[in-house]
Each structure stands twice: as structure tokens, then as C-alpha cells.
Amino acid sequence: MDGRVALVTGAGSATDAGCFVADLTGDLAAAGLVAAVLERFDRVDALVNNAGMVQSGVDQPERLFADMSAVEWERHVALNLTTTANVTRAVVAHMLARGGGRIVNTSSVTGAACQSRVPDGLRRGQDGG
């Protein structure tokens, strides 16, 4: 990626990286993030949507899906899906104007961990009926 600019949400450190903090569940914050990256680097060649699920510094109780409230569910959807849509929407016009770019969406590895917490009969598709 020498000479290219990648915007990686939820990323650790990298060479010549900028650090930008935003709640990407809001479309205005996502647009602000992209604007800040463009101001610093003048381009975005690749977007890696890697943010989601776990938030640093936020005390969230661990719950089974069956015990989750609608509000908790909506927050998980916002963190894992809406963030991806917001940042992609904010950067795609810039990429198209430059002749293209690359967008990579990742998903969480916590699905396997959640599956292990589902009652055995439900995991096998057996509802007892």
C-alpha cells in the first residue's frame, strides 16, 4: 500500500497512521471522520470497515440474545452494521470521483462464542416440538 491511504475503522497502529475518534453510528460523525482523513491525507484508496461489537471504556453487561432488550439489540445493530453503512456512504463518492477504490467489510469472530452460549437443543434446530 506504499503511497496509498487506507481508512481502517477499529484499527490498531500502522505506519504513518492518523488517529481519529468518532462514534460511527451517526452519519454526521462518519462524514466528519472521512473529511478529517481527506484533510490530512488528501485521498482514501481503501476502506476497511473493522469497527463493531466491543467498545473500549464502555461497561456493557454480557447478555444472552433471549435476555437482550430491544434497545440493546438496536445498539448492537448500530455498532456492527450501521457503522459500516455510514462510513461507506461517506467515502464512496470520493472514491468514485478518483476513479475507484477498495472497500473491505469484516465481521466479528464473536459469533462462534455466542453460539456456544445457545442452549444445545436450539443450536441443533430442535425446539422440542
Strands 6-8 and 102-105, bridge-based pairing: unpaired
Name the grid cell of 42.
Answer: 488528501
Q: Tell me how far apart the alpha carbons of residues 18 and 7 are, in angstroms, rounded to a whole number.
A: 9
Go through the domains of the chain in sequence order and give each one's CATH number: 6-123 (3.40.50.720)
Q: Give the confidence band of 129 by pLDDT, cuts at 50, 70, 90.
A: very low
CA atoms of 121 and 129, how far apart (whole Å): 11
Q: Tell me the pTM.
A: 0.71
Residue 111 C-alpha cell reads as 459469533
Which helix (H) or strand (E) covers residue 27, if one does? helix 27-41
pLDDT in tens, 39-86: 988 999 999 888 666 555 667 777 788 888 999 889 888 888 899 999
- Tell me the average pLDDT across 8-16: 58
What is the residue-averaged pLDDT of the chain? Answer: 77
Residue 47 phi/psi, 5° resolution? Answer: -120, 125
